[in-house]
Amino acid sequence: MSNSAHLDVSDMISNISLEPGLPDDVIDQPNLRDLISSTKFLLLMECLTYAIFSVGFVGIIGNTLIIMTFSKVGFSDSINMSYLAMAVSDMGCVASIVWSGLCWNSNFFDSVIAIEAREVVLPTGGFSTTAFGKITAMITAFISLERCMCVVIPLKVKTLITRKRTVYFIVLNYVLHMFPAALVYIVIRFEWKFSEQRNRTVLGVKYMHNPNQRALTDFIWLFYSLPLQFIPLITVVICTIFLVIALNRSAQWRKAYSQTTTKEGQNRNEIGISKGTAAKRRTRSKEDRIGKTVMIIAIVFIVCSSPAAINNAVTRAEPEYRASGQYRKLNLFVAGSAACVNAVNSSVNIFIYYNMSSKFKLALKKLLCLVN
């Protein structure tokens, strides 16, 4: 395989992955200038891996607890199914990012494990991270849209978004995003090769380049390209703005309602009417709590997803910022940092659920045997 062919595929992969990973012949090419030296770049990437490991440790434990807790709470509310599906995708995303960070850590790379880690990281970590990240993004957009529909058409939303339709959406979402990631194994081959640097035979990757396989890589790139990345992000932004407005209106309504019932409390009959409307008030309070939970999840998603989206947009706009350009190491470091931030997005939901949902908090405490 020619070096130029290798660069083409590596360029395509690095632009759609959420974390970097390129073999040494791309990192250390002497004929390309870069702002970051190879030694400094590898040091920065190694430091970044320790941040990824720390976040990933929290994310794996947190998402495991989320999955177990929602399994105990049940799915009487269809949104719990979305929370559970998002926890599964977050778990896959965090695990993939941690694996990618492990491959970039020199202690692992130079260990006794016979793997060419910086080659293997692309098909084993890059595409799975991208796929799980897209799944999380679509589920976040889905629950944000569902909350908006609860405000706009509260009487119809339960018939439009049923548990069965939620399951269909979740399954389709997973299949739609995981299938292209699996197709990458058609264009790559794992093979044993001799490494002069390590003086031993290691497992590496070879990229295939016949016309059909090249067309397949183009399809995968188009599928994971910018439009699909920005659609859920834009959806979440719009829905979050709408939810903020709706929650502010609800807070004003509760304040006005409280003042009215206080004045009317002097009349017993009107007190009876007030008690009759207490159930509606509790229902609205529950919907507001769910809305606030979704809003916080959406805001965290927007903040954590924006760096990767912006980095990918710049990559497409500036050729020198790509994996074959003079700023390739800067691109890879920024992409790795965005991956770490993305891992944060996939790790913090347990703290959001714990603080926003009394039912989740109680179920989690029972799961951890903190209460009877």
372 in a structural domain: no
Contact 88, 372 (CB under 8 A): no
- pLDDT score, position 249: 77
Q: How far apart are CA 252 and CA 264, in angstroms?
A: 18
- Does the structure show a pLDDT above 60 at 105? yes
pLDDT digits (tens, 9 = 90+) for 254-288: 666 665 655 555 454 444 445 555 556 666 667 77
**3-state secondary structure (DSSP) of residue 200:** strand
Task: Using alpha carbons, list the distances in angstroms from residue 277 to 34, 155, 283, 286.
Answer: 67, 18, 10, 15
- pLDDT score, position 204: 83
Q: Any idea what the CATH number is for the domain that residue 357 is in?
A: 1.20.1070.10
Look at 241-245, 268-272, 326-330 and tell me which has the smallest mean pLDDT: 268-272
Range of the domain at 178: 3-367
Position 232 confidence tier, pLDDT thresholds 50, 70, 90: confident
Percent share of the chain, pLDDT over 70? 75
Mean pLDDT of 46-50: 83
188 residue type, one letter: I
- pLDDT score, position 351: 94
Q: Structural domain tally of the chain?
A: 1
3-state secondary structure 84-113: HHHHHHHHHHHHHHHHHHHHHCHHHHCCCC
- pLDDT score, position 254: 63
The pTM score is 0.80
Distance in angstroms between the alpha carbons of the first and the last residue of the chain: 63
- Does the structure show a pLDDT above 80 at 31? no
Look at 86-95, 193-202, 338-347 and tell me which has the smallest mean pLDDT: 193-202
Burial 276-313 (b: 16+ CB within 10 A, else e): eeeeeeeeeeebbebbbbbbbbbebbbebbebbbebbe
